[in-house]
């Protein structure tokens, strides 16, 4: 341990560096939305994402699929940008090739399970608010690599 962090407060200095240079999820939300979201930057959906509003429109950006421990299915890993995702919610999944002109890569599924990764363990939860990373079970059939997820009733933007 001392080999990596030194013997004179190296770990405390490393933690101080992380706190100083890596912004909090809320502090970086506006920057992330401006870079990633291609919709109206002045609309309600963008405002909810920039504020990490857990009562706002549900928006999730998924980044990877992880296999289940039994290797029979995949779970989708993503960040809740706004809103709160609950187990049992019906969600719209917009795949990589979705566009407003061609909605072929859009499906509606029900969220069966929610987990939060804790190291190599999965902790099952009932809901996940904005700003958190989450593993979502039951929607993997319609996600190839990345996707955007919102509530099934969301027609905004």
Is 59 in contact with 129 (CB distance < 8 Å)? no
* The predicted structure's pLDDT at residue 91: 93
* The predicted structure's pLDDT at residue 100: 75
What number of helices (H) and strands (E) belong to the chain?
4, 10
Is 137 in contact with 112 (CB distance < 8 Å)? yes
Residue 20 and residue 73: Cα distance in Å, rounded? 39
Q: pLDDT digits over 105-138, tens only?
A: 888 999 999 999 888 889 999 999 999 999 999 8
Is 121 in contact with 34 (CB distance < 8 Å)? no
- In terms of Cβ atoms closer than 10 Å to its own Cβ (0-12, 13-18, 19+), residue 3 is exposed
How, if at all, do strands 133-137 and 106-110 pair?
A: unpaired
Q: pLDDT digits over 61-89, tens only?
A: 999 998 888 888 899 999 999 999 999 99
DSSP secondary structure code for residue 39 in this structure: S
* The predicted structure's pLDDT at residue 87: 96
């Amino acid at each position: 341990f001392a080999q990596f962090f030194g013997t004179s407060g190296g770990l405390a200095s490393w933690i101080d560096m992380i706190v100083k240079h890596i912004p909090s999820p809320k502090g970086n939300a506006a920057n992330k939305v401006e870079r990633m979201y291609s919709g109206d930057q002045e609309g309600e959906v963008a405002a909810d994402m920039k504020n990490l509003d857990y009562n706002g429109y549900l928006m999730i950006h998924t980044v990877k699929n992880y296999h289940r421990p039994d290797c029979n299915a995949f779970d989708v890993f993503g960040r809740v940008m706004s809103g709160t995702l609950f187990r049992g919610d019906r969600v719209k999944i917009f795949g990589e090739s979705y566009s407003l002109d061609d909605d072929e890569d859009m499906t509606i599924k029900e969220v069966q399970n929610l987990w939060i990764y804790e190291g190599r363990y999965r902790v099952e939860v009932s809901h996940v608010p904005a700003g958190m990373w989450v593993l979502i079970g039951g929607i993997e059939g319609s996600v190839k690599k990345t996707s955007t997820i919102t509530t099934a009733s969301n027609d905004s933007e």
